[in-house]
Amino acid sequence: MPHHKTALRLTAPVAVLALALTACGGGDDTDADAKSPASPAASASPSEPASGGDLATGESATGKVAEDPGEVTYEVVAQKVDVGTEAEAAKAVADAADAKGKVLAVAHVKYTHRSGPALTEGSDVHDGTTIFADGQRGGILIGASDDAPGCEDPYDVESWKQGESHVFCETYVIPANATSVEVHWSEEDGEPYVWKFPQK
């Protein structure tokens, strides 16, 4: 049976600026593709918040994701955010006017399969990742980071066993003058874990 996300990916143009901007902070966009009515609380070690919260650079979060073969526990850490220029943003979007005063922010997030069944066709773990700038969610740029250095395409990962890690990237369009970029990751319906990356 073909994986539904692969079909969606094939129909999406590479450089399409999806206007997924929220008017105000605190919006929850993770329940539209819900697989179950409730999500178990995150398994947390003593050094982690029990359910979401701010994390230091390099600090990891642990959470569960309902995958096709069953529930998988992942360790997640936002490694870095690469912020580009307005010129790069103008080239990446379908209409350069959409990028005026904006830059691309590419979050590199490492996901490690800690427990649960091995995956045989893709993963939904990256669906919980978003980028915020100065407290406002950016606009996602579909497919822009699949070929970026150090980034893997999540739909090319067809075998994922316990102990294995993959780095997936998310590209968002954010204001060029942002002073702080945040990477958020959350379980389905859970509070987000937040990594902050101050900008110069």
pTM score: 0.75
Q: Domain for residue 111, yes or no?
A: yes
Task: Give me the pLDDT at residue 145, please.
Answer: 65
Say if CB 92 and CB 104 are below 8 A apart. Answer: yes
Q: Domain for residue 105, yes or no?
A: yes
Whether residue 174 is predicted with pLDDT greater than 90 in this model: the reply is yes
In this predicted model, which residue has the larger pLDDT, 37 or 106? Answer: 106
In this predicted model, which residue has the larger pLDDT, 89 or 21? Answer: 89
Q: What percent of the chain has pLDDT over 90?
A: 56
5, 42, 16, 24: which is closest to 134 by C-alpha? 24
What is d(CA 47, CA 145) in angstroms, rounded to the nearest whole number?
31
- Can you give 20-53 as a three-state secondary structure string? CCCCCCCCCCCCCCCCCCCCCCCCCCCCCCCCCE
Q: What is the CATH number of the domain that holds 169?
A: 2.60.40
Q: Domain for residue 26, yes or no?
A: no
Mean pLDDT over 171-192 rounds to 95
Q: Domain for residue 101, yes or no?
A: yes
Whether residue 153 is predicted with pLDDT greater than 60 in this model: the reply is yes
What is d(CA 100, CA 103) in angstroms, rounded to the nearest whole number?
8
What is d(CA 139, CA 142) in angstroms, rounded to the nearest whole number?
10
Task: Give me the pLDDT at residue 198, please.
Answer: 93
Task: Give me the pLDDT at residue 158, please.
Answer: 83
Say if CB 125 and CB 72 are below 8 A apart. Answer: yes
- Total domains, the chain: 1
125: domain range?
1-7+76-187
What confidence tens digit (pLDDT) does each residue in 39-75 have? 444 444 444 445 789 999 999 999 999 998 999 999 9
Q: Domain for residue 42, yes or no?
A: no
Q: Domain for residue 44, yes or no?
A: no
**Which residues have C-beta within 8 Å of that of residue 65, sequence separation ≥ 6?**
71, 72, 74, 123, 124, 125, 128, 187, 188
Tokens in use for 152?
A: 């893997």
Task: Give me the pLDDT at residue 50, please.
Answer: 53
Q: Domain for residue 17, yes or no?
A: no
Quick check: helix, strand or coil at residue 62?
strand
Averaged confidence pLDDT in the chain: 80
What confidence tens digit (pLDDT) does each residue in 112-147 have? 999 999 998 888 999 999 999 999 999 998 767 666
194, 178, 72: which is closest to 130 by C-alpha? 194
Mean pLDDT over 13-26 rounds to 40
Q: Domain for residue 57, yes or no?
A: no
